[in-house]
Amino acid sequence: MKKRLILLIDFSKFSEPLVKLAHLLAKQLESKITLVHQVPSLVPSLSDLESREQLISHEKEAATSKMLELIHTVGLAEEEVSLLVTEKNLSKILNERSVMGHDDIVMLGLKGTGFLKKLLIGSTVTKIIEETNKPIIAIPSNLTSFEPSKFVVAVSYRFPVNEDSLQHMLETFKPFRVKLEFITVVTKNDNPDSSSAYLLLLEERFRDWGATYKIYHGADAFKEIKSHVHAIPNSYLVAQKGSRTLNDQLFRNFMLNDLIHDGSMPLLILPK
């Protein structure tokens, strides 16, 4: 089955740019596109079952019409895109094998600092990231093209990276000839030797992808990372579900929020 990009659409002003980017990426990856929208299910609590079903049906019909209008605006043909409108929990929907295949990738849109903080610290989208064990791409609103040159992978020896998932992501983006750089921050609670040994191991295992690594120490570590990453054109930050990068408040606030928002850097999230 051909891989697909699964776009979560909320009909905000950022939906159109997201679909345009997905169209560009789909051409590069030779993949299909599926647009997914969850209707709010604004049904009065005392409604009977028949009335409830009718109201939800009307919501779905309206959302489907808006989706069709959206893909026409972007210039996509209807046969190029599949649509899924649901009242069900998005995380459950995305975890269903009938909806997502092994090679599919979920795409989310980032709407600036405020939304990004919600994304990483607490919101409906956070639940999708936490509850959906699928590859996810979170896209800044001002990104206009897909030309990744390097994946900057945040790792820690305490949370080994999912090497199979990373390898699969690299194979997916092979047309872009992406290189790898592993980075880690050594805190006072970390073992420097264990950090170095793990990075050396990853460098060797991913040498076919031009893997390198950098270690950061001390209070200025995040500032140094930010400066370094901003100097790399078209770099993408890669984190893993369950890792320190996504779980630790300090890492989320300084590393992810600053790097992604200020640098307009997409975030790739690997499943466990």
One domain for residues 25 and 118:
yes
Q: Which range, 6-15, 111-120, 205-214, 216-225, has the best average confidence (pLDDT)?
A: 205-214
41: left (phi over 0), alpha (psi -120 to 50) or beta: left
* pTM of this structure: 0.82
Tell me if 145 is assigned to some domain. no
pLDDT tens for residues 62-92?
999 999 999 999 988 888 899 999 988 888 8
Task: State the chain's mean pLDDT as an integer.
Answer: 81
Tokens of 209: 């992808």
Give the burial class of 103: count Cβ atoms within 10 A of its Cβ; 0-12 exposed, 13-18 middle, 19 or more buried: middle
Q: Does pLDDT of 45 surpass 70?
A: no
Tokens of 10: 């909320």
Number of domains in the chain: 2
Note the pLDDT of residue 129.
Answer: 72
One domain for residues 24 and 104:
yes
The CATH number assigned to the domain holding 111 equals: 3.40.50.620
One domain for residues 136 and 154:
no
Tell me if 248 is assigned to some domain. yes
Q: Does pLDDT of 2 surpass 50?
A: yes
Specify the higher pLDDT residue, 119 or 105.
105
One domain for residues 228 and 123:
no
Q: Does pLDDT of 260 surpass 90?
A: no
Note the pLDDT of residue 117.
Answer: 45
Tell me if 161 is assigned to some domain. yes
- Dump strand ranges (E) for the chain: 4-8, 32-38, 81-86, 105-110, 136-140, 150-154, 179-186, 212-217, 235-240, 267-270
- What is the bridge-based pairing of β-strands 105-110 and 267-270? unpaired
Boundaries of domain holding 219: 150-270
One domain for residues 197 and 134:
no
Specify the higher pLDDT residue, 187 or 216.
216
Element (H, E) at 135: none
The amino acid at 64: T
One domain for residues 130 and 186:
no
Note the pLDDT of residue 179.
Answer: 94
